[in-house]
Amino acid sequence: MERRESIIESTMNTLAGANMDIDLVTPAGQISWSQEKCPWNAREGSDPHHCAVKNISICQYFCGVEYPDTLLCCFPDENPYRAIS
């Protein structure tokens, strides 16, 4: 992990204030890739929860995105990053 962190530190910028839409609720027939279901929505049997909604909110369980397209979610546990900010 040390090698990866040094590459990230030397080649990446950390930019605050992104305004994005991220969710796991798109019906399978509307996308061409496989997508897992939001665990909060799965537990409730519904689909109102979104990870990030542009100009609106960020889910309390959303912990980020890992390259290239893996969502980091801590549901149902408390978000460890919320205590940091």
Q: Delimit the domains of the chain by residue range.
A: 15-73
Exposed/middle/buried for residue 44 (C-beta within 10 Å: 0-12, 13-18, 19+): exposed
Query: How much is the pLDDT for 20?
Result: 87
pLDDT tens digit sequence for 44-60: 999 999 999 999 999 99
pTM: 0.76
Q: What residues of the chain score a pLDDT lower than 70? A: 1-9, 85
Cα 65 off chain centre by = 5
